[in-house]
Structure 1
């Protein structure tokens, strides 16, 4: 008798964007609901173009109120200092004990540029070039502290081993960063980078930098083509394509448990065809739709062996089956903090 086919689990994530809500309790309830369904992570959008809460701050508030769900805020890289981006995302990883991600986004309008008054609006090409450089320097800054750089020796008064801090000396097109970071290396090494890779420019960034790429489509053939392209381009950059998760990002509007069961069938079909590694759900009504997903879709997927019944690990990287990155300076013997 032949051995049974072993299928990799489906990765599930959900957007918890909710216009008009400004209370922590609303977002906390959604994140806890997603956690009850053993989803990998929640995302929260952000934009300079509309009033609203800071996504990164909201998810930092949710961190102590949740225990396993990954937390992935949108972070605009165009008008935010790269050093501050790196520090804020690292801090989210610390307060969540290794459950942070971030989704780099860009700003290209004059109206948004005027909010800061530092420079004119950039073209999409320039903004995404800068976003790729921000992703580069963020990874370097997260590695600028080796994992065992902290000594905390009260008897000698030594807090850190200066030989295990590193300058990054990064020169980008629009900024430069010397380093090292002001925050110790995050628990995950690098918080998970999630990029919406639907359009051409962010897809190029995702192939080079993303741990998770989102593709907005309702066509499994288009999703499979995008996944193959992303994996091929990642390989061309010297990356292992097996370390890139590609999720189909789909709108969801559910009204009955029958709809939620139908969604489970769609997820199973796409997964069986190898179109995607999982799904990022974008609910029309987060409270209603996510409630039905957890009540009806999740049990069906679990029954079919396509979704975990519990979190076997504690970090977002563990949920996604991604290894913790090796520190590039510790292995390469980079320049020391106390160099001449």
Structure 2
């Protein structure tokens, strides 16, 4: 796979995925809940040629007690803040569906797509555990099958709402005083086990038509949803051989679901820490583990220099193990500072779909019976 086609994503999990990352002198933990922290990280990633950033989120606090950085800003709000400061990089916030109405999610991601001129995506997540259920108090704890069945329905609702305005629904006809052509708005009429939504959306169809949907395939329940719904599928594997086997199995499942495997990108998670020399990397990771021992990694891990990371990315692309990677820094500012040394050329402007080589879909309702008179305009 040519470097120009290999997708490079970056997950920005606060000060880093290592629980002690906030204790580093360069962590900027004091800035974590400011817009500047996120703008600086994302603009640096954009200059380094990163294709997209993923912003984790949850309705629960980070586990680990007082020794772990705790507290979160809303991922969609972070993406909206950095949209105005960037021009090329894709923005994929996580947003959970379990305690959130899909109508609200559809509107939020559509608005982000407008704000970023077509660079928005949505990483679908669910809210596990009794703690998050109690935070809302609307329903009890759900098992994985129930959570991901609900997520499957939520994605269907969201994507139908994204299509509910045709591309030319806004006519802004001053002589007749008609801002929209209500014949170009459509009811979605969804009725499922968890949602009953008539629609249409109150937000016009956004630049990409359908923002990019990402789903992790890390359990049986989520893998089925990823296969049916994901434009991007995130996976974890301990080595390239395992990743290649997983990618082949996913592509087979995608084809069996009557989807084109070449229209879905499979991204491999890579935990990473970078420094100028291998010795420095070893010392820095040892210090992190001394402060707070981290869990044994379940995904591919690279501890090295920008040069050795570049070699790894080339090997992944050449092996066919994935269509791209998502780097997960142990310590965010430290790794982001070294990404420029990858010498990766930033992509030209365009939508996130353009960057992924995915077509802009037509509205599914464009040739169907139009909405009846009386719909709000």
Answer yes or no: same fold by TM over 0.5: yes
Give the SS at the match of 2:200.
Answer: coil
Q: Give how far 1:337 is off.
A: 4.2
Are the equivalent residues in 2 in contact too, given 1:41–1:71 (CA < 8 A)?
yes
Higher RCO, 1 vs 2 (CA within 8 Å, ≥6 residues apart): 2
Matched, 1:261 2:257: no
- Cα distance between partner residues in 1 of 2:258 and 2:145: 23
**Which moves more between the two structures, 176-185 or 219-228?**
219-228
Q: What is the aligned counterpart of 2:8 among 12, 26, 37? A: 12
Question: 1:334 & 1:8 partners in 2: Cα distance?
Answer: 42
Structure 2 CA distance for partners of 1:23 and 1:337, relative to 1, 3 Å = farther
Q: Return structure 1 stretches of 4+ with deviation > 4 angstroms.
A: 5-8
Residues 164, 337 of structure 1: 8 Å contact kept: no
Q: Is 2:311 aligned against 1:291? A: no
Tell me the distance in 1 between the aligned counterparts of 2:221 and 2:372: 35
- Asked if the contact 1:254/1:288 (under 8 Å) is kept, the reply is yes
Contact 1:11 1:278 in 2 (8 A): yes
Q: How far apart are residue 210 of structure 1 and its match?
A: 0.7
Check 1:239–1:33 CA distance in 2 against 1; reply closer, same or farther (3 A cut): same
Pairwise CA RMSD of aligned residues? Answer: 1.7
Contact 2:3 2:317 in 1 (8 A): no
Q: Is residue 2:295 matched to residue 1:275?
A: no
Aligned to 2:199: 179
How many residue pairs are counted as aligned between the two chains?
325
Q: Give ranges in structure 2 of 5+ residues lacking alignment.
A: 16-28, 62-70, 278-303
Flag structure 1 segments of 5+ consecutive residues without an equivalent: 303-308
**What is the deviation of 1:201?**
1.7
Residue by residue over 1:183-229, the C-alpha shift from the partner in whole angstroms, topping out at 9 and shown as x without a partner, is: 00111011111112122221111111111111122311111111112
Matched ranges for 1:1-340 at <5 A: 9-19=5-15, 20=29, 21-50=32-61, 51-256=71-276, 259-295=305-341, 297=342, 299=343, 302=344, 309-331=345-367, 333-338=368-373
Instruction: Find the aligned partners of 2:195 and 2:271 in 1 and give their Cα distance.
Output: 37
Q: 1:339 deviation in Å?
A: 7.9
- Aligned-partner Cα distance in 1 for 2:170–2:323: 37
1:38 shift after superposition: 2.0
